[in-house]
């Protein structure tokens, strides 16, 4: 099979188009003929140093949509020909290939009207946003929320979910060139992170109260600064590093809840309910997409051989929406 793979850790340009053996599904696994796969920052970030569990050549790619091609022993729900989508296990070979193998109990069905390209766009970014807002922060109607980097994958899906679940005010940060894009997704207020003090602006927009919910997709430094703009009893969810210290935080005036998110942590955790929740969240997300309430935000479709160049552009952090591989 054709695959984009690396012979050692490195940058995106170290990836090569290779011919590799078609993988065989083991007990409890399915093999998927890949129809589409999307690119995520996690792909190039982990590729830089690799993981101890990897064997080389290693195939990246967390988000896969396709057709079940074969099932391993013990698999009962899925049959060859079923349309499926999933968020893969980062420690295993991924979906930048013509075939991929994954655990059967972490997979969601793709409703017939939804294309493989649209389905592949959501797992990593969409499920991260869903887990943050719905599973962890239990977003409620009438709450205010600030979402970092609204034009990115996680940020863009989070804006849409916040609108669906009734947030009263959705604030986000974006460059001026992406302001109209994030407003179309549902943002009420767009803060230019290049020219404005983001946290001062959040306080101004909330009459000094701060945001009820903040989703941080950036880094520890930004998460630390988020503490100054969170409301009393508010919640902060972080996917790229939690605040380093809360020493300057005054619990008497600003009690808050912190959530550290790592979607891939469910895989191999030994926690079967947590692993199965990947599929349940995927089912819920597919329902919202089927109802037309979620835009998959496909910014570009590419061929398999274009992955190294496209992943390099993604690493520059100036990509709007999702880049999706459409397999021949």
pLDDT by residue (tens digit) across 66-81?
Answer: 999 999 999 999 999 9
DSSP 40: -
Class of domain 2-121+267-326: alpha beta
- Cα separation, 104 vs 4, in Å, equals 23
Q: pLDDT value at position 224?
A: 87
For residue 127, give the nearest of 140, 145, 108 by alpha carbon.
108
For residue 84, give the nearest of 99, 61, 65 by alpha carbon.
65
**125-261: what fold?**
Rossmann fold (3.40.50)
Do residues 322 and 296 touch, judged by C-beta distance below 8 A?
Answer: yes
Q: pLDDT value at position 248?
A: 53
CA distances from 37 to 40, 109, 128 (A): 10, 15, 17
E-strand ranges in 13-62 read 16-19, 29-38
Q: pLDDT value at position 272?
A: 84
Residue 5: how many other CB atoms lie within 10 Å: 22
CA distances from 42 to 89, 125, 239, 244, 293 (A): 12, 10, 11, 22, 26
N-terminal to C-terminal alpha carbon distance within the chain: 12
Residue 115: how many other CB atoms lie within 10 Å: 17
Q: pLDDT value at position 263?
A: 65
Q: Is the pTM of this model over 0.85?
A: yes
- Cα separation, 126 vs 286, in Å, equals 10
Question: Quick one: residue 34, left, alpha or beta (phi over 0 = left, psi -120 to 50 = alpha)?
Answer: beta
Q: pLDDT value at position 221?
A: 87
- Cα separation, 15 vs 6, in Å, equals 5
Residue 36: how many other CB atoms lie within 10 Å: 23
* pLDDT < 70 regions, the chain: 245-255, 260-264
Question: With the C-alpha atoms ordered 133, 138, 142, 146, is the resulting torsion angle positive or negative?
Answer: negative
Asked if the domains 2-121+267-326 and 125-261 are classified in one and the same CATH topology, the answer is no
Name the pairing type of β-strands 83-87 and 107-109.
antiparallel
Give the residue extent of every domain in the chain.
2-121+267-326, 125-261
- Cα separation, 127 vs 260, in Å, equals 14
Residue 294: how many other CB atoms lie within 10 Å: 23
């Amino acid at each position: 099979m054709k695959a984009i793979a690396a012979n050692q850790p490195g940058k995106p340009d170290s990836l090569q188009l290779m011919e590799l053996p078609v993988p065989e599904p083991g007990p409890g696994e399915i093999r998927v003929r890949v129809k589409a796969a999307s690119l995520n920052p996690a792909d190039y970030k982990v590729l830089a140093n690799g993981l101890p569990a990897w064997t080389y050549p290693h195939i990246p790619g967390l988000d896969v949509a396709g057709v079940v091609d074969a099932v391993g022993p013990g698999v009962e729900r899925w049959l060859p020909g079923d349309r499926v989508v999933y968020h893969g296990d980062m420690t295993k070979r991924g979906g930048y290939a013509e075939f991929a193998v994954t655990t059967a109990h972490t997979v969601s069905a793709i409703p017939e009207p939804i294309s493989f390209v649209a389905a592949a766009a959501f797992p990593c970014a969409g499920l991260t946003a869903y887990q943050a807002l719905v599973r962890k922060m239990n977003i409620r109607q009438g709450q205010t929320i600030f979402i970092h980097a609204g034009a990115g994958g996680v940020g863009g899906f989070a804006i849409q979910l916040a609108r669906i679940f009734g947030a009263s005010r959705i604030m986000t940060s974006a460059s001026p060139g992406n302001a109209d894009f994030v407003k179309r997704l549902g943002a009420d207020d767009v803060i230019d992170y290049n020219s404005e003090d983001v946290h001062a602006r959040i306080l101004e927009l909330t009459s000094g109260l701060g945001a009820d919910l903040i989703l941080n997709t950036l880094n520890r430094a930004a998460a630390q600064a988020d503490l100054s703009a969170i409301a009393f009893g508010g919640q902060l969810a972080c996917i790229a590093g939690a605040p380093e210290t809360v020493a300057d935080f005054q619990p008497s005036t600003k009690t808050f809840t912190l959530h550290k998110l790592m979607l891939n942590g469910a895989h191999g955790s030994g926690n079967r309910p947590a692993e199965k929740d990947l599929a349940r969240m995927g089912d819920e997300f597919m329902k919202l997409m089927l109802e037309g309430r979620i835009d998959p935000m496909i910014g570009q479709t590419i061929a398999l051989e274009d992955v190294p160049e496209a992943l390099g552009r993604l690493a520059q952090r100036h990509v709007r929406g999702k880049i999706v591989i459409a397999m021949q």
